[in-house]
Amino acid sequence: IRPLTLQDFAKMREEGEKIACLTAYDASFAKLEDTAGVELVLVGDSLGMVIHGQPSTVAVTIDDIVYHTRATAHGLQRGFLVADMPFLSFSTTDEAIFNARRLMQEGFAKMVKLEGGAVQAEIVRFLTDRGVPVCGHLGLRPQLIHKLGGFKVQGRDEAVAAEMIEDARVLEEAGADMLLLECVPNTLAKTITEAAGVPVIGIGAGAHVDGQILVLHDILGVSRGRRPRFVRDFLAEAGDVEGAIREYVKAVKSGAYPDVEHTFGG
């Protein structure tokens, strides 16, 4: 089995093949995802909520992510492993490179993901110049929860939309290898994806992106609290865990997911 690379994702984008991504936090689920055809596996700071039971991702530490990334790595043969940079773990270039090194050397991640737009350009440049692939995360940024007051769609406002388009451009110019859009209207996600030169992955960003990602616990229907609009419970449909992950991959690949009911309009 050949491990997937960033070049494979670039090719998939070019050929219009949707990229199937999912979060994982341990080796057992990582292995199931790997055999079910998940191509990119993210150890998200969502682990603060779905694993640790926190109300947000703010309390997640770099040690938490390293621990779960290392466990997840042991379940993968083909899937491309990405790890989140948690809240305030990349505030300076020194801190960002120190923590990215831990994610790659101790956790075996192949790329790091960090929230933020143009303001992160210097950090993204610093990391990518030194061999750390970076995925930028725009739209809803859960690490800003205490500024935003809640999780909601981002970019319905024209000024915010224009800023997001510019953020995407600046991040890519700074060397970002991939972009992720969270809770963004359909049409804005389409505009950003068409303008981009790198793969754009969406969660609650409609169907016009290059790939989809969801939180594992959401597709298995075991997350606590209110279910966001974009979530589809594949376990309820498939009946067992491996089947649910397979159905999710199939639905992403065929374009059956996301449907309009999972999508935010402008």
By the 8 A CB rule, do 199 and 211 touch? Answer: yes
Which of 33, 182, 242, 261 is catalytic? The answer is: 182
Our CB check for ligand KIV shows the closer of 44 and 133 to be 44
The CB-of-43 to ligand KIV minimum distance in angstroms stands at: 8
By the 8 A CB rule, do 17 and 253 touch? Answer: yes
Assess 215 for contact with ligand KIV (CB under 6 A): yes
How far is the C-alpha of 95 from the C-alpha of 91, rounded, in Å? 7
Residue 33 falls in the annotated catalytic set: no
Assess 89 for contact with ligand KIV (CB under 6 A): no
Return the one option of ligand KIV, Na ion, none that residue 167 interacts with (CB less than 5 to 8 A, by type): none
Size of the site for ligand KIV (CB under 6 A): 11
Assess 116 for contact with Na ion (CB under 5 A): no
Instruction: Record the tokens describing residue 210, joined without a space.
Output: 């290059």
Assess 213 for contact with ligand KIV (CB under 6 A): yes
How far is the C-alpha of 257 from the C-alpha of 41, rounded, in Å? 18
Among 84, 172, 177, 210, binds ligand KIV (CB under 6 A): 84
Phi and psi dihedrals of 133, rounded to 5? Answer: -65, 140
Assess 46 for contact with ligand KIV (CB under 6 A): yes
The four Cα atoms 93, 96, 98, 103 give a dihedral, to 10 degrees, of -160
Phi and psi dihedrals of 107, rounded to 5? Answer: -105, -10
How far is the C-alpha of 254 from the C-alpha of 148, rounded, in Å? 35
Among 33, 39, 45, 177, binds ligand KIV (CB under 6 A): 45
Query: Scanning residues 38 to 97, which ones bind Na ion (CB under 5 A)?
Result: 44-45, 84
Assess 143 for contact with ligand KIV (CB under 6 A): no
Return the one option of ligand KIV, Na ion, none that residue 39 interacts with (CB less than 5 to 8 A, by type): none
Assess 218 for contact with Na ion (CB under 5 A): no
Our CB check for Na ion shows the closer of 66 and 238 to be 66
DSSP state of 3: P
Cα of first residue to Cα of last residue in the chain, in angstroms, is: 42
DSSP H/E element including 29: helix 27-36
Q: Which amino acid is at 259?
A: D
The CB-of-185 to Na ion minimum distance in angstroms stands at: 20
Annotated ligand binding at 45? The verdict is yes
How far is the C-alpha of 224 from the C-alpha of 217, rounded, in Å? 9
Binding site for Na ion (CB under 5 A): 44-45, 84
Binding site for ligand KIV (CB under 6 A): 23, 42, 44-46, 84, 180, 182, 203, 213, 215
Tell me the binding residues for Mg(2+).
Answer: 45, 84, 115
